[in-house]
């Protein structure tokens, strides 16, 4: 059954190229690369984020509430029309991230979000997750708002699969052509040479990792890809309004 359920804590760190190389090599003493990354340097993740017309979900998220939620459609690479993708409902409560997702075909996912009506159940779907998303869609009238893609390196702890660390670079976004099938082009969200590292663990991180982060002065940051894209978009809108008013 095409479903994945995650319950974990996620901490984020912004790195430059030098810090990435150092941390990456040190981590491989305790961790191993994701199966795909053993053959390919990166794999690309593509997303469509859904929100209300007035961006209520991301505005609430940026206010740092104890509870927040979002809905996105995710694929690995650029999917062909009608291929399988994942519709994900992500919640965060007191720092604990819960993510539930079900596979759908692209057209089924778009129509489900647009109408709020579940597609006819197929073997690759999970009915329980679809019911949860259906309830979410009853509470909010959502539309596609932004496309976000990035290139990822992922690794797992050799001792426990509960610890996962990812490195994302070339984070790019757009607010047009909001279909996963339209390609992975977009405007850069990070500066050249920047990486976003995420440490994802179901429990506390191991001592060796805490020591490694401390030794290299790695400090957690509050970085949301969608949140930073939204703030960038708002800043550009305000600048445009200022220029028009001045003219």
Task: Please report, in tens digits, the pLDDT of each residue of the chain (247 residues total).
Answer: 344 777 899 999 999 999 999 999 999 999 999 998 999 999 999 999 999 999 999 999 999 999 999 999 999 999 999 999 999 999 999 889 999 999 999 999 999 999 999 999 999 999 999 999 999 999 999 999 999 999 999 999 988 778 999 999 999 999 999 999 999 999 999 999 999 999 999 888 999 999 999 999 999 999 999 999 999 999 998 888 776 666 6
The pLDDT of residue 95 is: 85
Q: Is the CB of residue 221 less than 8 Å from the CB of residue 12? A: yes
The pLDDT of residue 162 is: 87
Compute the distance between CA of residue 12 and CA of residue 21 in angstroms, rounded to an integer.
17
The pLDDT of residue 247 is: 63
Long-range contacts of 127-135 (CB under 8 A, 24+ apart): 129/3, 129/89, 129/100, 129/101, 129/102, 130/102, 132/89, 132/100, 133/71, 133/87, 133/89, 133/102
- In which domain, by residue range, is 235 found? 3-246
Q: Domains in the chain: how many in total?
A: 1
The pLDDT of residue 212 is: 96
CATH number reported for the structural domain that contains residue 73 in this entry: 3.20.100.30
Coil, strand or helix: which one is 179? coil
Alpha carbon distances (Å) from 76 to 26, 79, 183, 184, 200: 27, 7, 12, 11, 19
> Rg of the chain over CA atoms, in angstroms?
19
Q: Is the CB of residue 165 less than 8 Å from the CB of residue 154? A: yes
The pLDDT of residue 77 is: 95
**Contacts (Cβ under 8 Å, ≥6 apart) of 135:** none
């Amino acid at each position: 059954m095409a479903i994945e359920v995650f319950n974990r804590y996620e901490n984020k760190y912004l790195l430059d190229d030098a810090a990435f190389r150092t941390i990456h090599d040190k981590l491989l003493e305790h961790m191993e690369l994701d199966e795909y990354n053993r053959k390919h340097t990166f794999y690309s993740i593509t997303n469509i984020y859904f929100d209300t017309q007035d961006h209520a979900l991301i505005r609430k998220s940026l206010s740092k509430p104890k509870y927040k939620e979002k809905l996105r459609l995710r694929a690995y690479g650029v999917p062909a029309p009608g291929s399988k993708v994942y519709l994900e409902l992500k919640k965060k409560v007191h720092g604990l991230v819960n993510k539930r997702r079900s596979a759908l075909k692209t057209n089924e996912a778009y129509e489900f979000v647009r109408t709020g009506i579940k597609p006819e159940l197929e073997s690759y779907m999970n009915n329980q997750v679809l019911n949860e998303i259906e309830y979410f869609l009853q509470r909010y009238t959502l539309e596609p708002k932004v496309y976000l893609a990035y290139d990822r390196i992922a690794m797992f702890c050799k001792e426990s699969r509960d610890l996962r660390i990812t490195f994302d670079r070339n984070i790019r976004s757009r607010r047009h052509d909001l279909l996963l099938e339209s390609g992975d082009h977009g405007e850069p969200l990070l500066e050249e040479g920047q990486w976003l590292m995420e440490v994802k663990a179901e429990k506390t991180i191991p001592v060796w990792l805490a020591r490694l982060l401390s030794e290299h002065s790695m400090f957690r940051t509050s970085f949301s890809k969608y949140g930073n894209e939204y703030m960038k978009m708002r800043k550009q809108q305000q600048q445009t309004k200022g220029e028009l008013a001045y003219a």
